[in-house]
Amino acid sequence: MEFQDAFSDNRKALQHLADIKWANGFMCPKCGNKTHCRVYYTLSRKCQSCNHIDSPTAGTLFHKVKFPLWKAFWIIYQMSMAKKGKSSYELGRELGIRQKTAWLFRRKVQEAMASLGRHPLEGEVEVDEFMIGQKEPGKKGRSKGSKRLVIMSIERRGEKGIGRGYATTVENATSEQLEEFIEEKVDKEAEITTDEWKGYTPLKAKWKITQKKSDNGKGMPQIHNIIMNLKGWLRGIHHKCSKAHLQSYLDEFFYRFNRRNSRNTIFDGLIIRMMEHQPFSIQAFREDRILCA
C-alpha cells in the first residue's frame, strides 16, 4: 500500500526519477553547462547554453518505455520484492500490456540486476557445476545437447547458514573456464570445496581447494539446495528459458537472493541502478524467438 501511495500516477514516478538523476545538480549531456530552466509539464531540464532538453528518463534504462511509467515501477517492485518474482505473462495480465512488452522491460531490469563484481565470496565457499534444461533421449552425464552448463558458488556460514552466491553460464567445465569463474567471483583467501570433477584439480596450485565426492548432492547439501531452488524457480515461474537469455535469469535470481536480508532498500537500489545504466537496443530481442516468461 505504501508503494501504491508513493507511485500512484506517472508524475509521481517521473518526479522520483528526476530527483535521483539531478540529486547533485544539472549538467547538460551535450555541452556540460550547469545552468538550466525547468520544463514543468514533463519535469525535464532545458540547458540555457545550447537549449538541449534532457528528460528524467533520457540516457537510462527507462528511455523510451512504451507504457505508463507507474506500470514500469510496478514491474520493478514485483521483480525485486516478490519472493519469486513474476513472469511476463502474469505482469502482462495484471497491467493490461502485451506479454512481449512486459518481457522486454523485464529484460532491461535484469540487465540492471547483473553483479557489479564488488563483493567476491569469502570464507568457506562451495563451487559446483550443473546442467539446466529438459532431459533429452540419448543424452547422459555431461552430454549437453540443448541444455546449458552453469557454474554456481555460495558462501557457507556454518552447517545451515548461507551468505551470498553467484552463477554463470559456460560452454564447458574446463579448467580454464572454472579458473575464470573463480577468479572473478571468489576471494583469493577463500577455502573452496568442490566435487571430484577433474577440471578443478589443476586449480589447487592457485587456490585452497578441497575436492569431495558429490554423492548426488549429499556431499555438498547447501549449494545443492540452492541449485534445486533455482531450477524449481525457472520451471515453476517461467516454465522455460532460452539459452540466449539464461544468464539474465541467473542474475535476477541471485540479485534477490543476495539481498534477502535488506528488503527495505532492494527496490530503491534497483531504481538507482537502472538510472545509472546506459540504454541499450532491444531490436535483437524482437528478432529472437522469445522462449522465456
In 3-state terms, what secondary structure has residue 148? strand
Half-sphere exposure (Cβ direction) of 49: Cα atoms closer than 13 Å: 10
What was the pLDDT predicted at 139? 56
- The most confident of 25-34, 140-149, 214-223, by mean pLDDT: 25-34
Please compute the mean of the pLDDT values over residues 270-286 and round it to a whole number: 82
Which residues does 237 contact at the CB level (< 8 Å), separation at least 6?
A: 84, 85, 86, 87, 293
Model confidence at 282, pLDDT cuts 50, 70, 90, reads low
177-201 tens-digit pLDDT: 999 999 999 999 999 999 999 999 9
Distances (CA, A) of 81 to 46, 77, 84, 114, 257: 35, 6, 8, 16, 11
Q: Cβ distance 120 to 187 under 8 Å?
A: yes
123-141 tens-digit pLDDT: 999 999 999 986 655 555 5
In 3-state terms, what secondary structure has residue 193? strand
* Stronger pLDDT, 217 or 211, i.e. the higher one: 211
Asked if the structure places residue 199 within a domain, the reply is yes
What was the pLDDT predicted at 240? 78
DSSP line for 207-264: SEEEE---TTTTTSHHHHHHHHHHHHHIIIIIS---GGGHHHHHHHHHHHHTTTT-HH
Asked if the structure places residue 152 within a domain, the reply is yes
What was the pLDDT predicted at 290? 44
What was the pLDDT predicted at 289? 44
Provide the residue range defining the domain that includes 189.
124-134+144-236
Q: Cβ distance 169 to 250 under 8 Å?
A: yes
DSSP line for 114-135: S--S---B-SEEEEEEEEES--
Residue 15 and residue 258: Cα distance in Å, rounded? 29
What was the pLDDT predicted at 3? 85
Asked if the structure places residue 183 within a domain, the reply is yes
Portion of the chain with pLDDT greater than 90, in percent: 75
Locate cell 552430454: which residue?
Answer: 143
* Stronger pLDDT, 128 or 1, i.e. the higher one: 128
Q: Cβ distance 130 to 144 under 8 Å?
A: no
Which ranges of the chain would DSSP assign to H, the alpha helix? 2-6, 10-21, 69-81, 88-95, 99-113, 175-185, 221-233, 246-257, 263-276, 283-287
Whichever domain contains 172, its CATH number is: 3.30.420.10
Asked if the structure places residue 38 within a domain, the reply is no
Which residues does 143 contact at the CB level (< 8 Å), separation at least 6?
A: none
19-48 tens-digit pLDDT: 999 999 999 999 999 999 998 878 999 999
Count of domains in the chain?
1
Model confidence at 203, pLDDT cuts 50, 70, 90, reads very high
Asked if the structure places residue 192 within a domain, the reply is yes
Asked if the structure places residue 161 within a domain, the reply is yes
The DSSP symbol for 201 reads G
Mean pLDDT score of the chain: 90
What was the pLDDT predicted at 75? 96
Asked if the structure places residue 95 within a domain, the reply is no
What was the pLDDT predicted at 108? 94
Asked if the structure places residue 227 within a domain, the reply is yes
Res 292 pLDDT > 60? no
What was the pLDDT predicted at 291? 43
* Stronger pLDDT, 143 or 88, i.e. the higher one: 88
